[in-house]
Homo-oligomer: A and B are copies of this chain.
Amino acid sequence: MSVAMAIKPSLDAGPGRRLPAGSGFALSEVVIDPAALRAAMADPCAGAFITFEGWVRNHHDGRAVAGLRYESYAALANNEGTAILAEAMARFDLLAVHCVHRVGELAVGELAVWVGVSACHRDGAFDACRFVIDEVKARVPVWKYEHYVEGDGGWLHPGPGQGCCAPALPKPG
């Protein structure tokens, strides 16, 4: 499977784009612990700390959801994820930025993605947190397979410009 190397954080965002300590992108095959991630970002210089968490919802597009599975292409995901964090550091006045995305089977209510941003001041930190989750959703190769309560399921492949999710193409007969 593609996630075997997934839990190694990828700290090198390419030439000239090393991230500061406490920053990094990772995929995780195990439950994400937000308290541990928060503690790792403690910084006596920081005045503001903002997190975004994506939780697995019990419904989507009018259907009852029993759970989901995330699959990732880890090599590209780590490269793109790290590049996004380096872009956030360059664009906004931050101390650190960190993101972890789950892969594998998730139950309703579980933490799917965590973004944490620390900064001296909150100006920019909100925008940075939003930037990271928006870019992760747009660029990082992670795919969601939803299990519906009715027993069926399907891959979600949002169409261009769609806020939500288009159904996977029908299987050719």
Contacts and interface: CB of A to CB of B under 8 A. Distances in A.
Interface in A107-132: 108-109, 120, 122-123, 126, 129-130
A142 interface: no
Contact of A54 (B48, B55, B130): B48
15 contacts: A34-B35, A34-B38, A35-B35, A43-B55, A44-B109, A45-B57, A46-B55, A47-B56, A49-B51, A50-B53, A54-B122, A57-B120, A122-B130, A126-B126, A126-B129
Closest CB pairs A-B (n = 9): A44-B58, A49-B53, A47-B57, A35-B35, A51-B51, A126-B130, A44-B108, A44-B109, A46-B55
